[in-house]
Amino acid sequence: MNVLVGTSTWEEVLPVWRDQLWPGRKSKIEPTSAMRYLGGYDMQNMQFVPVFFSLTTDRIIAINSVVMCADGSARSRGLWVDPSFRGKGYARIVLENSILQAKEWGAKHIWTVPRKSSWSSYQHVGFVQQTDWFSEGVEFGPNCYASMML
């Protein structure tokens, strides 16, 4: 089976995020988020266009997005790997592509709000946990804030 590394469109990503990553999510799923690093919201973040890095066979088997934020940072968001393909390093590949893209954009750091269940993937590529785990205010917690200087 050939696994291709590339990018996907929002139209390709949305069904994966809606049905696999965030099934039953109450808040609307958008290509970007107004969340700010370490809390709060900045609606200016919604103006930036994300890149969706993916691994595909005949379908998406791994995905992660990266988008610039108004404060000059970049956000990694929406990491998902098909359960039958986990443990093969695919999360690392899409995360590393996201990090490289953030560097190309000139971001000073990249941040994320990972689930506890996916934390090891983020640690393996160099993210550092910045807060305790929390479940309040998130639908699919526990989560924390994590970042990496670029």
Residue 1 clears pLDDT 80, i.e. is over it: no
Question: pTM for the full model?
Answer: 0.94
Residue 3 clears pLDDT 90, i.e. is over it: no
pLDDT score at 70: 97
pLDDT score at 2: 86
- The tens digit of pLDDT for each residue in 12-61 reads 999 999 999 999 999 999 999 999 999 999 999 999 999 999 999 999 99
CB neighbour list of residue 145: distance below 8 Å, 6 or more residues apart = 37, 38, 39, 111, 112, 113, 129, 130, 131
Residue 44 to residue 84: CA distance in whole angstroms:
37
pLDDT score at 121: 97
